[in-house]
């Protein structure tokens, strides 16, 4: 089994599943959904096997596969996984089956075409495959290709499968949101393409590839970058860093490049919106941690104060705009902008606590956002409106739905005892050791989070039952099968995050060692600085 192509099988399985689904007869809608669900569960099981076989204290990149792809350009099919990528692989493969199950009847809303079910679930599997290969890629060009390619199925999920409406204006808004999503991310990708080409030219000038050519091998370029063998001027490396960072900041998204996210989240079905916010957008923050920091360590240090400033603005901005929303789905989308600010803050603090917290936050944000957005989606589908003012008293008619919504909301505001608290605490502690003011401002934003979550719950779930809400029914078994694992994960990892941290901690240590960063030494005052008084005779008290 040593030579078994573990990672190729991991991402290729959902591609094959998508092809099988599309090949099914048009009338077999139920079978199409069942096949997609079975494939996604099989991929999850395979990822769990990978996690069991992974050695946290072993080689940095494991299950490595290295084959020629485009030898003339120094590009290869090279894949491997470290602890950071592995936990994101597990997050992705765990969420996709739940999203397929949550959107089991979405075709009733998105359209009446005979092959709607087939296309919908096939696109979901294709997005999963492209995200997975992005996480495991160790070739810069290979990563870039799928970084961009995942936009296509995601575009169709947003623009072609949003909630159906007879309102022409709403359909136009959905189309505009999909185009906005695509244009923003394509523009970021084009900037990154220029940086990828520029990096290749730099490696070619220094003969890092075979036959004095360039190379796209990530490990080779990282080794050269951190040994000073790239031979490029600091200004060139700064420009290349900005090219990569811009694309990742759009994908993540980082303020002020975030404006596509709320529109896209509202336009898509809840399952597709969660796929975008909890899975696809993580490729952006993962790219910052792996590519920006490790390829351009000096440039990352140079621009860290600017990125941290933007992250803190995003934290406060997202929370403030969430408070002012009247649309429940748009409110939750703005909370994600705030949470991505915390993740980016932890990454660029460049401390072990900050980066560990940021990676853990990627996982916890995926779980908490999935829970809150999907439960809200179940509620909206029952009531037929997204306006917060149209709800009220839901806890009286659907207590399980309201209770699960409350727990997911508390997780979103990082209540102690729920999974996001630990990651947010680590980010703030890690940031404070280098950027005290940024950490203090970010901590103050927690009050805003409590405000938008608790006020949202009060308006929607408490009080008398408003007219039109009396027929809202509680979660059905299929929905419970989606919600219960998410709530259980929030509770379990809230008190026992060790299984995830065991993968993350060694990988973060290796990353910091590679880029030459160490945690700041704690400032311990000397006796005179501490104001130690002395007796007149010179003896210390």
Whether the pTM exceeds 0.85: the reply is yes
Rounded Cα gap, residues 295 and 289, in angstroms: 10
State the average pLDDT over residues 263-285.
Answer: 89
For residues 14-22, average pLDDT: 93
Exposed/middle/buried for 489, CB within 10 Å: 0-12, 13-18, 19+? buried
pLDDT in tens, 430-443: 999 888 899 999 99
- In tens, the pLDDT along 383-411 reads 888 888 888 888 898 899 999 999 999 99
Residues 71-82 pLDDT 10s: 877 788 999 999
Question: Which H or E run contains 65?
Answer: strand 62-70
Looking at residues 111-136, what average pLDDT do you find? 83
442-452 as b/e: b if 16+ CB within 10 A: beebbebbbeb
Q: Tell me what percent of the residues of the chain surpass a pLDDT of 90.
A: 51
Tell me the C-alpha distance between 71 and 515, whole Å: 28
Which pLDDT tens digit goes with each residue over 442-500? 998 888 888 889 999 999 988 888 888 888 888 899 999 999 999 999 999 999 999 99
- Cα torsion angle, 159, 163, 169, 173, sign: negative
- Cβ proximity of 412 and 335 under 8 Å: yes
CA distances from 228 to 25, 74, 94, 236, 297 (A): 58, 20, 40, 14, 11
3-state helix, strand, coil in the chain (%, to 5): 70, 5, 25
pLDDT digits over 488-535, tens only? Answer: 999 999 999 999 999 999 999 888 888 877 777 766 555 555 444 444
Q: What secondary structure letter does DSSP report for 391?
A: -
What pLDDT is attached to residue 311?
94
Q: Does residue 45 carry a pLDDT above 80? A: yes
- Mean per-residue pLDDT, 347-374: 93
> Which sequence spans correspond to the domains of the chain?
296-519
Average pLDDT of the residues of the chain:
87
Place of tokens 């160490």: 518
Residue 197 backbone phi and psi in degrees, to 5: -65, -45
pLDDT range class, residue 133, cuts 50, 70, 90: very high
């Amino acid at each position: 089994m040593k030579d078994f192509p573990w990672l190729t099988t991991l991402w290729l399985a959902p591609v094959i599943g998508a092809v099988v689904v599309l090949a099914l007869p048009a009338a077999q809608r139920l079978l199409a959904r069942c096949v997609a669900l079975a494939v996604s569960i099989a991929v999850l099981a395979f990822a769990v096997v990978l996690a069991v076989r992974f050695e946290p204290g072993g080689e940095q990149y494991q299950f490595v596969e290295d084959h020629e792809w485009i030898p003339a350009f120094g590009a290869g099919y090279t894949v491997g996984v470290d602890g950071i990528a592995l936990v994101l692989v597990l997050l992705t493969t765990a969420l996709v089956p739940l999203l397929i199950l949550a959107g089991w009847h979405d075709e009733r809303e998105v359209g009446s075409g005979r092959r709607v079910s087939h296309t919908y679930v096939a696109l979901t599997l294709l997005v999963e495959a492209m995200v997975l290969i992005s996480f495991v890629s160790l070739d810069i060009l290979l990563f870039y290709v799928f970084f961009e390619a995942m936009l296509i199925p995601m575009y169709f999920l947003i623009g072609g499968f949003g909630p159906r409406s007879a309102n022409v204006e709403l359909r136009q808004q959905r189309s505009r949101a999909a185009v906005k999503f695509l244009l923003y991310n394509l523009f970021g990708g084009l900037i990154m393409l220029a940086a990828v080409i520029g990096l290749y030219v730099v490696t070619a000038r220094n003969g890092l590839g075979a036959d004095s050519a360039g190379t796209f091998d990530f490990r080779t370029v990282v080794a050269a970058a951190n040994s000073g063998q790239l031979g490029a001027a600091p200004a060139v490396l700064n420009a290349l860093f900005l090219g990569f960072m811009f694309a990742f900041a759009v994908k993540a998204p980082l303020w002020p490049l975030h404006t596509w996210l709320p529109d896209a989240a509202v336009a898509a079905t809840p399952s597709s919106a969660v796929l975008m916010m909890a899975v696809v957008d993580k490729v952006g923050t993962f790219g910052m941690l792996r590519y920006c920091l490790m390829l351009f360590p000096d440039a990352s240090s140079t621009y860290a104060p600017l990125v941290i400033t933007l992250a803190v603005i995003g934290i406060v901005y997202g929370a403030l705009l969430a408070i002012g929303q009247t649309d429940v789905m748009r409110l939750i989308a703005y909370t994600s902008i705030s949470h991505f600010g915390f993740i980016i803050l932890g990454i660029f603090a460049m401390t072990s606590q900050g980066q560990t917290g940021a990676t853990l936050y990627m996982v916890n944000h995926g779980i908490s956002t999935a829970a809150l957005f999907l439960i809200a989606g179940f509620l909206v589908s029952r009531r037929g409106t997204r306006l917060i003012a149209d709800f009220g008293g839901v806890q009286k008619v659907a207590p399980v739905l309201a209770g699960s919504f409350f727990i997911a909301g508390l997780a979103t505001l990082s209540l102690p005892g729920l999974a996001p608290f630990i990651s947010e605490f680590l980010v703030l502690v890690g940031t404070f050791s280098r950027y005290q003011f940024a950490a203090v401002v970010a901590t103050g934003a927690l009050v805003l989070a409590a405000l938008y979550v608790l006020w949202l719950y009060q308006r929607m779930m408490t009080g008398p039952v408003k007219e039109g809400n009396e027929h809202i029914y509680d979660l059905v078994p299929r929905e419970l099968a989606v919600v219960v694992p998410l709530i259980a994960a929030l509770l379990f990892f809230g008190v026992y995050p060790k299984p995830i941290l065991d993968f993350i901690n060694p990988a973060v240590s290796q990353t910091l060692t590679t880029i030459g960063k160490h945690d700041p030494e704690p400032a311990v005052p000397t006796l005179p600085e501490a104001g130690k008084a002395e007796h007149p005779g010179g003896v210390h008290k």
